[in-house]
Structure 1
Amino acid sequence: MENRIAIIGTIVENSEAVEKINAVLHEYSDYILGRMGIPQAKRHMNIITIVIEAPNDVISALSGKLGMIPNVNIKTVYSKVTTQ
């Protein structure tokens, strides 16, 4: 199956969600190429960017699980290029 590179941008509006996010990301750790977290203490939020290389269905599943966590907003951007 062909893989794609995608970026999942995540804004966490409640720090109680971070533990749930980490659990979901651990499930998909084999596909994650990198992760960057930026705490915004003044605004009481965190910004997490995840770079992933995986088949479309895996990327969609990860995005869906993250998006179902309360107080978490996500957007996923897919590359047009597929990899083997």
Structure 2
Amino acid sequence: MEANRIGVAAIIVENPDSVQEVNETLHKFSGLIVGRLGIPYRERGVAVISVVLDGTTDDISALTGRLGKIGGVTVKAAVSKK
């Protein structure tokens, strides 16, 4: 069994029409989420979301992979080594 790791996902939403799908996806993976900070950067027309995660690398990859498939969304993750 794979051990849980702490991770953080940085999400940039450039397409306002994608916000609902991003939120729905995060809700589906809510069991992994420790905390979330979302900032609407109106001057640049984007939303920046930071999500702290606790899960297996497979779970974290599944979440970031699904988010990355949404149009107008960029996501990067960093995961602890322990």
TM range (shorter): over 0.9
Matched AA of 1:54: G
CA distance in 2, matches of 1:80, 1:2: 11
Gaps of 5+ in 1: none
- What is residue 4 of structure 2 aligned with on the other side? 3
Deviations 1:6-62 (A, max 9, x none): 100011101111100011001110110000001111110000001100011100000
Could you state the TM-score of these two structures normalised by the residue count of structure 1?
A: 0.93
**In the alignment, does 2:36 pair up with 1:72?**
no
Q: Secondary structure at the match of 2:30?
A: coil
CA distance in 1, matches of 2:77, 2:57: 11
Gaps of 5+ in 2: none
Q: CA deviation at 1:70?
A: 0.3
The aligned runs of 1:36-55 (5 Å cut-off) are: 36-55=37-56
- What is residue 33 of structure 2 aligned with on the other side? 32
Q: CA deviation at 1:68?
A: 0.3
Q: Secondary structure at the match of 2:81?
A: strand
The structure carrying a bigger strand percent of its residues is 1
Structure 1 moving runs of 4+ over 6 Å: none
Alignment RMSD: 0.7
Could you state the TM-score of these two structures normalised by the residue count of structure 2?
A: 0.95
Instruction: Among all aligned residue pairs of Structure 1 and Structure 2, give the percentage whose two residues are the same amino acid.
Output: 42
